[in-house]
């Protein structure tokens, strides 16, 4: 594969590059630190590729415009941070029920509310999953480095198209603002989901058996899109059987593709006694702790980096729980993903949360201490 010259890039800048390479041609948003560089990068670069950038009057409008543009056939993305992520929730649910592909980047900062502007935190793991009302699945990815931000952004765009769903990319302030040297693939070298509008005659936008791409408005295929529960043609229904089929299909389209959607990165001992399970910028501290425990001390320790947070990598955690005595779950909140780990560990391994909530990163030393505790 061909690569561009190495560049020194921020996570937020890598997100812009990933989005453009994956074919994103529409951005709408509202400024908020620490996500603003994404909007600024888009404002500069989208016009050069014939795309559209618009700064909307608020985040609600940003989310709405992104959905509108997706209905018009553009691959669309918006970026925000904590308070703005809260404002977007209603329309994220709309995208979920209406099955409109779009990507929402949330560069997490310390909350609730204005919190500590703009100290890092990982407080929106559960909001990504459950933030919008109603029962529906979601895909959420969380990168731990600049390069990971690049390729998880492209993955987010591809998943959104393939599964016709909103995809949430959870960055954090550290990853968003951190600079690293990266070589990105040369433009046009990526696997990008292609649209194929064949058999338009029989087109059912919400087909119960397959998941056809959305035919953009303006192509002469007339159908209805609504946030009401609807039938295969998009028209509202409250017929219990149709409602049940609809809800099950919405969940099935994600759950039946867990293998494809779930991405994790495992390093360390193959038969570990202790495994660190974490995500985002905390992976970096975990990696340093692993280095010391596994490479220097030669203890059987490993690290599972959850690049996909939702759907939750349940199988991976189950397998680790079978083999390990301890699962350590560091996160920059008061305990969010640790609950999922406990659920799937099912008492087979002891699950210990390591939490920090003072606006700073968890240190390698803090994690190492806990590892040491497991071996003494």
Partner 1 sequence: MKSLREEFLRTNKLPHIWCPGCGNGIVTAALVRAIGKVGFEQKDVAVVSGIGCSSRAAGYLNFNTLHTTHGRALAFATGLKLAQPGLKVFVVMGDGDATAIGGNHFIHAARRNIDLNAIIINNHIYGMTGGQHSPLTPEGKKATTAPEGTLEREFNILELAVSAGATYGARGTAAQPRLLEKLIVGASQNEGFSVVEAMSTCPVSYGRRNRLGSAVDMLKDIKQRSVSVEKLETKAETTRPRRDIAEEGAEEEGETHDKQEEVIPVGVIFSRPAPEFVERYYRGLNKEKEGKEGKEEKEGQVES
Binding site for partner 1 (CB under 8 A): 2-5, 26, 28, 47-48, 50, 52, 54, 56-58, 60-62, 64-74, 76, 90-91, 94, 183, 186-187, 216-228, 235-236
3-state class (DSSP) for residue 170: strand
C-beta closer to partner 1: residue 100 or 309: 100
The least CB distance from residue 34 to partner 1, in Å, is 24
C-beta closer to partner 1: residue 147 or 299: 147
The least CB distance from residue 194 to partner 1, in Å, is 18
- Give yes or no for a contact between 277 and 329, defined as CB atoms under 8 angstroms apart: yes
The least CB distance from residue 65 to partner 1, in Å, is 3
C-beta closer to partner 1: residue 47 or 112: 47
The least CB distance from residue 327 to partner 1, in Å, is 40
The least CB distance from residue 251 to partner 1, in Å, is 22
Say how far apart CA 375 and CA 301 lie, in whole Å. Answer: 10
The least CB distance from residue 151 to partner 1, in Å, is 17
Angle at 14 between CA 10 and CA 15, to 5 degrees: 115
Residues with Cβ < 8 Å from 351, sequence gap 6 or more?
A: 326, 327, 329, 338, 341, 342, 345
Say how far apart CA 245 and CA 223 lie, in whole Å. Answer: 20
- Give yes or no for a contact between 70 and 77, defined as CB atoms under 8 angstroms apart: no
According to DSSP, residue 46 is labeled G
The least CB distance from residue 106 to partner 1, in Å, is 19
The least CB distance from residue 17 to partner 1, in Å, is 11
Say how far apart CA 221 and CA 237 lie, in whole Å. Answer: 21
C-beta closer to partner 1: residue 64 or 328: 64
C-beta closer to partner 1: residue 38 or 46: 46
3-state class (DSSP) for residue 343: helix
C-beta closer to partner 1: residue 186 or 295: 186
Q: Cα 290 from chain centroid? A: 25
Across the strands, what pairs with 32? none
- Give yes or no for a contact between 224 and 235, defined as CB atoms under 8 angstroms apart: yes
C-beta closer to partner 1: residue 1 or 191: 1
The DSSP annotation for 271-295 comes to S-SEEEEE-TTHHHHHHHHHIIIII
C-beta closer to partner 1: residue 77 or 146: 77
The least CB distance from residue 223 to partner 1, in Å, is 7
Angle at 229 between CA 223 and CA 230, to 5 degrees: 30
According to DSSP, residue 50 is labeled T
Residue 103 main-chain phi, psi, to 5 deg: -120, 135
Strand order in the sheet with 75-80: 52-55, 24-29, 75-80, 102-108, 166-172, 139-141, 308-310
C-beta closer to partner 1: residue 189 or 256: 189
C-beta closer to partner 1: residue 223 or 357: 223
Q: Cα 204 from chain centroid? A: 28
The least CB distance from residue 269 to partner 1, in Å, is 35
Residue 348 main-chain phi, psi, to 5 deg: -80, -20
Residue 353 main-chain phi, psi, to 5 deg: -85, 145
């Amino acid at each position: 594969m061909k690569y561009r010259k190495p560049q020194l890039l921020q996570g937020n800048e890598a997100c812009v590059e990933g989005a453009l390479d994956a074919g994103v041609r529409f951005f709408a948003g509202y400024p908020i630190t620490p996500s603003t560089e994404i909007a600024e990068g888009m404002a500069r670069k989208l016009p050069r590729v014939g795309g559209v950038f618009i700064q909307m009057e608020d985040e609600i409008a940003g989310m709405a415009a992104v959905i509108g543009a997706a209905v018009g056939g553009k691959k669309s993305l918006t970026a925000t941070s904590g308070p703005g992520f809260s404002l977007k929730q209603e329309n994220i649910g709309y995208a979920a029920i209406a099955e409109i592909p779009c990507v929402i980047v949330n560069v997490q900062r310390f909350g609730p509310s204005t919190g500590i502007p703009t100290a890092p935190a990982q407080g929106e793991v559960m909001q990504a999953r459950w933030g919008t009302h109603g029962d529906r699945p979601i895909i959420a990815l969380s990168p731990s480095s600049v390069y990971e931000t690049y390729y998880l952004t492209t993955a987010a765009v591809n998943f959104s198209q393939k599964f016709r769903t909103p995809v949430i990319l959870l960055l954090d302030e550290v990853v968003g603002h951190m600079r690293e040297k990266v070589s990105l693939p040369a433009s046009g070298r990526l696997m990008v989901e292609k649209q194929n509008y064949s058999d338009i005659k029989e087109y059912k936008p919400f087909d119960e058996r397959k998941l056809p791409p959305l035919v953009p408005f303006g192509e002469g295929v007339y159908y209805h899109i609504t946030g009401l529960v609807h039938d295969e043609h998009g028209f509202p229904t409250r017929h219990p059987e149709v409602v049940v089929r609809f809800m099950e299909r919405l969940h099935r389209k994600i759950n039946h593709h867990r293998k494809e959607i779930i991405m994790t990165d495992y390093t360390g001992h193959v038969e570990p006694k202790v495994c660190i399970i974490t995500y985002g910028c905390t992976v970096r501290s975990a990696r340093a702790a692993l280095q010391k425990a596994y490479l220097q001390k030669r203890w059987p320790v490993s690290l599972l980096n959850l690049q996909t947070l939702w759907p939750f990598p349940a199988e991976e955690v189950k397998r680790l729980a079978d083999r390990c005595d301890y699962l350590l779950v560091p996160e920059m909140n008061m305990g969010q993903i640790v609950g999922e780990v406990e659920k799937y560990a099912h008492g087979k391994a002891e699950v210990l949360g390591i939490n920090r909530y003072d606006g700073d990163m968890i240190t390698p030393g803090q994690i190492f201490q806990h590892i040491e505790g497991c071996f003494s």
